Amino acid sequence: MKTILLVRHGKSSWDYSVSDRDRPLMERGIKDAARVAKEYMKNSIKIDAAYSSPANRAMHTAIIFLRTINFPLEKFNLSHSLYDFTGDDVHSFIRSLDNSKDTVLLFGHNEAFTHIANSLGNIYIDNVPTSGFVEIKFDTNDWGAVVKGTTGRTLFPKLIKE
């Protein structure tokens, strides 16, 4: 059994004159990432590895989430394949994962993550919101064979009770 956990980056700020990759999180993005991570911890599963897009907003979301769940940062890496907005590179990244890893957490962007959630999961999601979390389980032991899975938990900041 393989499981992919998708977390879209938190709400980012357009207030700065920086490149897309350098755009920072807003205060709301920081708070929402922590809220989703705390909610995840209530029914957490063992994560074998975590990867993030190298964009500032995705990396910052990843660090907030991973510190909140006490994930060892030596199992965290960046991947340029996750700086993707279509889902094609993310899908290729998933299919190329090391089969020794059963559960992998990814931090990235829309439209890619909504596309992945809908093309690989079995529940239609109109839009994975900022800081949104989607779990997809696959009945296979080979990442290269991942085609269609079962959507598990979804955690969206607006739906989490304070």
Predicted TM-score of the model (pTM) = 0.96
Task: Determine if residue 57 is labeled as part of a ligand binding site.
Answer: yes
Count: domains in the chain: 1
For residue 26, what are the domain limits? Answer: 2-159
Structural tokens at position 42: 């209530």
The pLDDT profile of the chain, 162 residues, written as one tens digit per residue, is 999 999 999 999 888 888 889 898 999 999 999 999 999 999 888 999 999 999 999 999 999 999 999 999 999 999 999 999 999 999 999 999 999 999 999 999 999 999 999 999 999 999 999 999 999 999 999 999 999 999 999 999 988 876
Give the integer Cα–Cα distance in Å for 96 and 88: 12
Alpha-carbon dihedral sign for residues 43, 46, 51, 55: positive
CATH code of the domain in which 119 resides: 3.40.50.1240
